[in-house]
Structure 1
Amino acid sequence: MINPVCTRFFLFFITLTFTLHSKAQVKDELNPEQAFLNPPESARPGVLWMWMGSNLSKTGITKDLEALKKEGFNRTTMFSLADVTTPWAGEINKSPTPELISWTEPWWKLVRHAAEESKRLNMDFGMFNGPSYESSGGPWITPELSMQEICWGQTAITGSKHISLKINKPKVNPRGNTPWPIYNPKTGLVEKPEIEERNTFYRDIALIALPASGVVAKQNVIDLTAKMKADGQLEWDAPAGDWIIYRFGHTTTGTLIQPAQWKATGLECDKMSQEAIDFHMDHVIGEIQKHLGDLIGNGFTHVHFDSYEAGDPSWTAKMREEFSARRGYDLLPYLATFAKRTVGSNEDSDKFKNDFSATIKDLYRDVYFATIAKKLKKANLTFLAEPYGGPWRQDEIMPFVGKVMTEFWTHKGKYAPYELDPTVAALRKSGQNIIEAEAFTGDPKDSKWDETPAWIKSMGDASFCAGVNRLILHRFVQQPWDDKYKPGATMGQWGTHFDRTQTWWEPGKAMVEYWKRCQALLQWGRIHDAKDDFIISAKTGNADINHIHRSADGIDIYFVANTNRAPGNAKCSFSVSGKQPELWDPLTGTMRDLPEFEELNGSTSIPLNFEDSQSYFIVFRKPSGKKLNGTNFPVTKQLGLLDGSWSVKFDEAWGGPKKPVSFTALTDWTKNAENGIKYYSGTAVYTKLFDAAYLNQNNKDLMLDLGIVKHIASIKLNNVDLGVVWTAPWHLKIPQGLLKKTNNKIEIAVTNVWANRLIGDEQEPADMEWLPGHMNSGSFLKEFPDWFLNNKPRPSKGRYTFTTWNYFTKDSALIPSGLLGPVRIVNSENK
């Protein structure tokens, strides 16, 4: 067991090391312009890579990693879960590959393949520390090494005589003491399942006697432990009076890891037991070394511990010794407080309860986190964790974690942080610079194959303003099957759906480029926490403006974001003076000086305009000089309207019309009378020939404005790729000289979401069986159908999609889709 004094010294040393490393980084990193224009590897986002049960393949693993690399990601953290999450562990019957059970030899061969491919692609790959995503355990954890709870039984006696009786072992509820119910495959119910080991595993702590009622003086608690035989037989000459004899012991909490395949499910390990943590970590690291030893550090790099949801234990085998060493007194007389007795006084009993809680926190720090850190470091593996939600002091355990991850959700379509602010604060206190976040975790109310990059943006920006500077997306599911089976495998009901099978995956790379530019600057320099360094005034509209400030070497960088999906304007004051403000746009990668600003009392005041969910970096790095002419946000003037008919080509493979369709006006696909368009999901290409007779020599700053786009568009003009528009403002620059007065050709590839095709399929006869999920949020595949297993044409000819979770019925509302416009040629006038 680790000495508490040594632990405090180690905490000081490791904190100092991180702080010095953080300060050293500032000197070694790129300057901000270099970082912005060419983001470093550290600015690339990562994904939580969900391997769903036995639904895995080598081919799919390679395709996943290649798609992620191409998209701009460079890290995967793999979780091995059940076939589906309902939200509990669920199984899909008739699996094509039933032999793939987590942490068995066939499964490890796929893990090795993933590590080899990650090495080939120069990507960072790691995994969770066992089956499931919660918390630390597996089939290898015995009841003795599992999380423990204190239990007791009581027997009333009258004294003034010799007592000879058998004291029975305490009885506990056979159902596991878990934070919430789970799906129990043995009964088919959502419940806290019975755990056989709670009936069979028990260890004694002590046998004590107390006066039968009232507050009990500490000296009147009698220790009878030595007078009881192994079978519970007690021989005792009891003093006069009425007494209650308490037999205290401990048993397993019965807490299971979740949501693993049923054959891979096991008990959570005891986080306060050195023996249990040693055993668990030695097993985990031993398996990794056995199967991936030559790839550690180059192909396989880290082991992850997710947010803690295993509940609060109340005992560990050596609790009495640990308590005495740390608190300076014996806990035995106070055991009766667990039976709601008062020992000494109310104040004394409360002090014991606080001391007991403090001891649990100490042990999580000194055993759980310290041991993980030590063993992973020795194995040349990085310790990744979401270190919140458990019985510990967050600022004390933070320095043990090599890379810290926090978390935010997309609750009701809005940014919803979970333990994010205290984690960021503790992380900064420990001197660490990179703040990762499990990002955009979504429940079925928000993520039903209807998420879009534009919808996602403001929530990511809100996390940036809160201190996050590296997004790790939740989630990316391993897609094992042929590409014709889309959307493919899911994490059951959980989103957000970042998958290579997502309709907008390829054009979505533009969003990843935006994140990279943001993260490059948000990792640069040091956080600047001064109060009142950013003030908003003269605000109009409904923009919700947030910010974060970083600085180093005389340069100040503010990330300023409208985190509301509505436009607005404001005058923003920055606590910087004597410098020329610049606007760096992470959406386009452009940089420009801002001509409109005022300096007063050491601050610079700048009028800023925001479209919905728009963000900028405001940079102060060079002295202000001659006053510039113009406005910060030039107004646009329409030069031409691309009205009239468009030729629109849909993909026949996903139910679209075989031939191009003429749209006489830009309209919502879901309003179309033809089902192949009404229920279409995917990409449709709008083509048009047009003249631009209005062009003249003064038209230098031309832009293409798309108006309303549902949901992302890639544009070509005269066979030149102009890029992707995925969020407001829905326009992009036209290179000088590209637009001609006559015979221009424009192609706009518009991609919507999967929801409509999935709803369209529900209009057709069923050819798969479904079972209801457990939160009224949809249904999951009961079994793989024969036509799928045998690679035969599906019986229901009007169905196009294949997935493992169904959110929809035939009456579900369709999602507006397509290019709605108006599409205009505009130029900017800087007055």
Structure 2
Amino acid sequence: MSKLKRIKLLLSIIIIGFTVPVHAQVKSADNPEQVFLNPPESAKPGVLWMWMGANLSKSGITKDLEALKKEGFNRTTMFSLADVTTPWAGEINKSPTPEIISWTEPWWDLVKHAASESKRLGMDFGMFNGPSYESSGGPWITPELSMQEICYNEVKVKGNTHISINIGKPKVNPRGKSPFPMYNPETNKVEKPEIKARNTYYKDIALLALPASGIVPKDKIIDLTSKMQVDGQLEWDAPAGDWVIYRFGHTTSGTLIQPSQWKATGLECDKMSEEAVAFHLDHVVGEIKKYIGEFVGSSFTHVHFDSYEAGEPNWTPKMRSEFSSRRGYDLVPYLASFAKRTIGSKQDSLKFREDFSATIKDLYRDVYFATIAKKLKAANLTFLAEPYGGPWRQDDVMPYVGKVMTEFWTHKGKYSPYELDPTVAALRKSGQNIIEAEGFTGDPTDSKWDETPAWLKSMGDAAFCAGVNQLILHRFVQQPWDEKYKPGATMGQWGTHFDRTQTWWEPGKAMVEYWKRCQALLQWGHINDTKDDFFVAEQTGNVDLKHIRRSDGDMDIFFVANTNRSLGAAKCSFKVVGKQPELWNPVTGEMKDLPQFDEQNGATSIQLNFEDSQSFFIVFRKPAVKKSNAVNFPASQSLATLDGSWDVKFDAAWGGPVKPVRFNSLTDWTKNEENGIKYYSGTALYTKVFNATYLSKENSKNLLIDLGTVKHIASVKLNNVELGVVWTAPWNIQIPAGLLKKSNNKLEIAVTNVWANRLIGDEQEPADMEWLPGHMNSGSFLKEFPDWFLNNKPRPSKGRFTFTTWNYFTKDSPLISSGLLGPVKIIHSENKL
């Protein structure tokens, strides 16, 4: 951007009175130890809260918010979508609440309830700017205010005579220019629907005559616009030669918002028209004030604009004047380049297309982003956006956005950023500290009720190392129904299943605590991007180490993560000397000095051992003190293996055995001959009474319970004392001093697996719901709500236990290894992290 353009941009921001807000965050002056041990509100993650079509309830909204608050979240951003995403907008027939249509009064009543409950709970609530997740529009957008495209009609004539001809209006494909198709209930097809306005709405731009072939010199273009009558009739004395007459105009591109309920679907607004963008924002803000105005600025705080997928328009009513004022020449002679004609020269036509694209980028900045910022600022609402993917320059538009969000996916089980690195770089350039990310967005190959906290960990750590310091989870679905209907509503095929109906929701709080500790330190101080500040040597195993550094004054904190799901070790060097390295474990909250290190070449080198997906904070804040004969990771000694039998109690409400089962050894549930165990999903309680005659004065401290292999998360209690949750490697937990006795110890391990097995088990039974295939061969969605559900009757298929709106499985789908597989051991260690 030129200096003059930068000055103009700055002035425009000053004029609209918009400034980037100071986010509530960790202060540099804060003691990092205190924010690590007691993460502030700013370190809590948020969720994208998906309201799926008519499937909503006040009681469900309250339960959702209370569950999120208890789990450690403090923000929701609501999207109102179709009943399911297939990935297009899908409808489930025979809805129990058909009156709930997005952005109508019954729906707003629920929004008001959510705002009220958010205020009661002290939570931050906001929503997307229309009935969809893409992009900005709704049923209120008329064709005149919608995204526009150039269209033309051409007529060939011979000159050297008087031409009397009617140049008809251009005809366009009645199907809109939406980037993606959608399910059309009127035709029962997945398609780009016909948009009637593409045949009824039209405005002229110009009527031009050009030589019929070849490259056209500008002085050979004849502007006939003034000679054409309203009905298209042209009277013209044509010079000699062969000519093509082009009637250029514009119509709606027919681009629809998506994936909304069919009755809530409407056109995208014209992003380059201040009139259209202002109309859209005035409608959005007006409805918010009308229905929930009392909560604006307290519990209702922000309006969101998601990543852009609406395509690139090529016209707006004021395009000619905007182009002329910004580029210094008239675009009309070059209109024929849209008819694949070369004007002037190939270089001239190329320059025009570049100038035209630059004008579009300018208008997205000066009209779209500036108008949104001004309107939301005036309404005391924060402009929240994922400002990438569209026809603009990212650096241009970032200053307008109050809170910038980026995103990453869980593609093929690996961290997969989308436009994340350039967004982070732009935020750092602008001096912003909080970097939010729509996190763990998943597709059906990765997210089918089989995700686990351990599986998610390395991907979240990779995002932290890339600069993210506030996770906003994709996604959390509003669950409107009775607790017996689980897993319940889904977003269709999209997203990682972070729902209060998730099997591991309750113990999963330990993962949220981990994120809070990480985000607290990653918000502390300021980013230190000194080059070559960290390097690895003498690596063993298959670890993949990533890092990020935060600094303040003479303190430095490195977050170092093994983003591979395998263990190993490495000699890690940090560009710091004279300071004592400390290791802070964000999984457990424990902190200790690392006594074994070397200093050379201006760096501190430390041998670090990593389990799979393990991460540490390495902290330098106090003078170095080396201890002779001390080691960073002392070897552990196994004192006993708790082999033999275990009593295991399953939940009969979800198909498990009614009475506790005796396991003679620790085995995989899916290998059990009893279907109630083989297909079980949920929590099973393992109990064992054992003696510890090996205890002595020398080994009675620094004891651990090592669980071996766990599928997939475990809560541990010893002698009626809760020890905590084990959710990631290393799969062990500390025993408080003095708790383990020489005899009669009672160990209880509550192990929770994933939903997939019970869903697959249900597929062995007769069907009592009808399904329609998803539109990417990724599963199926509920065709209609069954009568037994609508009437709250016992279901006909007695062996079925689950209820959901999206089905990923068949009876032949492979089961997922589940249960406590062990071996469970008592371990003695000099120090534990």
The residue number in structure 1 matching 2:141 is 141
For the residue of structure 2 that corresponds to 1:329, the secondary structure is: coil
For the residue of structure 1 that corresponds to 2:410, the secondary structure is: strand
Alpha-carbon distance, 1:340 to partner: 1.2
Q: Call closer, same or farther: CA 1:445–1:209 in 2, change over 3 Å.
A: same
Task: Answer yes or no: is the 8 Å Cα contact 2:177–2:254 preserved in 1.
Answer: yes
Alignment of 1:6-155 (within 5 A): 7-10=8-11, 30-155=30-155
CA–CA separation in structure 1 for the residues paired with 2:256 and 2:174:
14
Q: Call closer, same or farther: CA 1:491–1:27 in 2, change over 3 Å.
A: closer
Q: Call closer, same or farther: CA 1:628–1:619 in 2, change over 3 Å.
A: farther
The residue number in structure 2 matching 1:326 is 326
The residue number in structure 2 matching 1:341 is 341
For the residue of structure 1 that corresponds to 2:829, the secondary structure is: strand
Task: Answer yes or no: is the 8 Å Cα contact 2:638–2:827 preserved in 1.
Answer: yes
Task: Answer yes or no: is the 8 Å Cα contact 1:11–1:399 preserved in 2.
Answer: no
Counterpart check, 1:727 vs 2:728: yes
Residue identity in the other structure for 2:420: L
Which consecutive residues of structure 1, in runs of 5 or more, have no partner in the other structure? none
Residue identity in the other structure for 1:444: P
Alignment of 1:205-604 (within 5 A): 205-604=205-604
The residue number in structure 2 matching 1:826 is 827
Alpha-carbon distance, 1:6 to partner: 7.0
Alpha-carbon distance, 1:15 to partner: 14
What is the count of residue pairs matched by the alignment? 828
1:127-179 deviation digits (Å, cap 9, x = unpaired): 00000100000000001100001111111112222211111111111111121
Q: Call closer, same or farther: CA 1:493–1:71 in 2, change over 3 Å.
A: same
Task: Answer yes or no: is the 8 Å Cα contact 2:82–2:90 preserved in 1.
Answer: yes
For the residue of structure 1 that corresponds to 2:716, the secondary structure is: strand
Residue identity in the other structure for 1:73: F
Residue identity in the other structure for 1:502: Q
CA–CA separation in structure 1 for the residues paired with 2:267 and 2:13:
34
1:522-565 deviation digits (Å, cap 9, x = unpaired): 11111111211111111110011101111112111111000010
Alpha-carbon distance, 1:485 to partner: 0.5
Residue identity in the other structure for 1:816: S
TM-score normalised by length of structure 2: 0.98
Alpha-carbon distance, 1:186 to partner: 1.6
Residue identity in the other structure for 2:239: P
1:654-688 deviation digits (Å, cap 9, x = unpaired): 01111110000000000000000000000000000
The residue number in structure 1 matching 2:159 is 159
For the residue of structure 2 that corresponds to 1:179, the secondary structure is: coil
CA–CA separation in structure 2 for the residues paired with 1:330 and 1:431:
39
The residue number in structure 2 matching 1:634 is 634
1:492-524 deviation digits (Å, cap 9, x = unpaired): 111200000000000000000000000011111
CA–CA separation in structure 2 for the residues paired with 1:5 and 1:407:
27
Q: Call closer, same or farther: CA 1:666–1:781 in 2, change over 3 Å.
A: same
Alignment of 1:612-631 (within 5 A): 612-627=612-627, 629-631=629-631
More off after superposition, 618-627 vs 410-419? 618-627
For the residue of structure 2 that corresponds to 1:194, the secondary structure is: coil
Task: Answer yes or no: is the 8 Å Cα contact 2:13–2:19 preserved in 1.
Answer: no
The residue number in structure 2 matching 1:799 is 800
TM-score normalised by length of structure 1: 0.98
CA–CA separation in structure 1 for the residues paired with 2:333 and 2:34:
65
CA–CA separation in structure 2 for the residues paired with 1:63 and 1:19:
34
Residue identity in the other structure for 1:772: P
Q: Call closer, same or farther: CA 1:110–1:15 in 2, change over 3 Å.
A: closer
Alpha-carbon distance, 1:25 to partner: 7.2
CA–CA separation in structure 1 for the residues paired with 2:603 and 2:707:
38
Task: Answer yes or no: is the 8 Å Cα contact 1:436–1:468 preserved in 2.
Answer: yes
CA–CA separation in structure 2 for the residues paired with 1:387 and 1:477:
24
1:768-789 deviation digits (Å, cap 9, x = unpaired): 1111111111111111111111
Which consecutive residues of structure 2, in runs of 5 or more, have no partner in the other structure? none
More off after superposition, 218-227 vs 66-75? 218-227
Alpha-carbon distance, 1:830 to partner: 6.5
The residue number in structure 2 matching 1:717 is 718
Residue identity in the other structure for 2:783: K
CA–CA separation in structure 2 for the residues paired with 1:509 and 1:172:
54
CA–CA separation in structure 2 for the residues paired with 1:15 and 1:235:
49
The residue number in structure 2 matching 1:742 is 743
More off after superposition, 706-715 vs 821-830? 821-830
The residue number in structure 2 matching 1:605 is 605
Task: Answer yes or no: is the 8 Å Cα contact 1:302–1:382 preserved in 2.
Answer: yes
For the residue of structure 2 that corresponds to 1:551, the secondary structure is: strand
Task: Answer yes or no: is the 8 Å Cα contact 2:28–2:524 preserved in 1.
Answer: no
CA–CA separation in structure 2 for the residues paired with 1:711 and 1:18:
46
1:73-106 deviation digits (Å, cap 9, x = unpaired): 0000000000111111111111110000000000
Counterpart check, 1:772 vs 2:773: yes
Residue identity in the other structure for 1:823: V
For the residue of structure 2 that corresponds to 1:62, the secondary structure is: helix
Alpha-carbon distance, 1:627 to partner: 3.3
For the residue of structure 1 that corresponds to 2:377, the secondary structure is: helix
The residue number in structure 1 matching 2:782 is 781
For the residue of structure 2 that corresponds to 1:580, the secondary structure is: strand
CA–CA separation in structure 2 for the residues paired with 1:17 and 1:127:
20
CA–CA separation in structure 1 for the residues paired with 2:48 and 2:595:
43
Alpha-carbon distance, 1:279 to partner: 0.3
1:307-358 deviation digits (Å, cap 9, x = unpaired): 0000110111100000011111111111111111111111111111000000
Alpha-carbon distance, 1:10 to partner: 3.3
CA–CA separation in structure 2 for the residues paired with 1:628 and 1:147:
72
Task: Answer yes or no: is the 8 Å Cα contact 2:49–2:476 preserved in 1.
Answer: yes
1:267-300 deviation digits (Å, cap 9, x = unpaired): 0000000010010000000000001111001111
Task: Answer yes or no: is the 8 Å Cα contact 2:28–2:552 preserved in 1.
Answer: no
1:39-59 deviation digits (Å, cap 9, x = unpaired): 111110000000000000000
Identical-pair percentage: 79
